[in-house]
Amino acid sequence: MNSLAFSVGNYTPRNLSAPNTTLPTKNLDTTKVSTTKFSSHRQENFSQQLQPKESQAFFKRREAIGLGFCTGFLNVLLQQQLTATAEEAPCELTVAPSGLAFCDRVVGTGPEAVKGQLIKAHYVGKLVSGKIFDSSYNRGKPLTFRVGVGEVIKGWDQGILGGDGIPPMLAGGKRKLKLPPELAYGMRGAGCKGGSCIIPPDAVLLFDVEFIGKA
C-alpha cells in the first residue's frame, strides 16, 4: 500500500483509514501501471549512472593528458616571452674611466675568463646608426681567440676580462659594449677598399657579446 501511494503521489492516510474504503480495480490497475513506469524510469536513470570504470578512467586520463599538454605549451610560450623581454629590455650603459660603456643583459653563472685563455664568444657588431657590419650568429660559429693578449680590439679584451671599473664577464653572460674609437679601430677604420670602409674611421662601435666559455 505504501508503494502504491508513493508511485501515484497523492496518497492521503486519513481516507485509507476509513473502514469501508476500497480501491476500484481500474484504479488499482492504473496504479500498477504507474508503478511500473516509475520503476522503469528509476532503473533507466540508475543504469545511466553505472558507466564502465574503464570508460571513466579513459576520459580522466585523456583530460589529464590534454591539461598537461596545454600547461606545458603555455609554459614554453611564457618562457620564450620572458627571454625575449629580457633581451629587448632597455640597457642602461655604465661608462668606465677608459671610455668603454657596458651593460649586462644576462649575468653568467660560469667562471670568468683568464688572461691568455682560449675562449669562445658570439657577437653582433653595429654602427651607431644601427647598421650591422658583422655577426658570428649569421655565420653559425662563435669567434675563438685568446683573450687579453691583443688578438682582438682593446675594447673586447677590456669588456670581457674587466678592470678599470668594469666587472669581468662570467661564462654564459651577455653584455652590451659601446667602444670609443681608441678602443676599436681608431683613425684607420676597417674593411676599407676603394675609398669606402665597412667600419669608417673614428667610428664608435656597439657590440652585443655572448661569452660562451673556454674553448
In the residue annotation, 185 being an active-site residue is answered as: yes
Ramachandran region, residue 201 (left: φ > 0; alpha: ψ -120 to 50; beta: rest): beta
Q: What are phi and psi of 155, to 5 degrees?
A: -60, -35
In the residue annotation, 102 being an active-site residue is answered as: no
Cell readout for 189 is 677604420
d(CA 44, CA 53): 18
Catalytic annotation, pick one of 123, 145, 160, 208: 123
In the residue annotation, 207 being an active-site residue is answered as: yes
Catalytic annotation, pick one of 38, 104, 153, 212: 153
Catalytic annotation, pick one of 145, 185, 199, 211: 185
Catalytic annotation, pick one of 102, 145, 207, 211: 207
In the residue annotation, 11 being an active-site residue is answered as: no
The contacts of residue 139 (CB under 8 Å, 6+ apart) are none
Catalytic annotation, pick one of 104, 134, 198, 212: 134
3-state secondary structure of 9: coil
**Active centre residues (catalytic):** 123, 133-134, 153, 185, 207
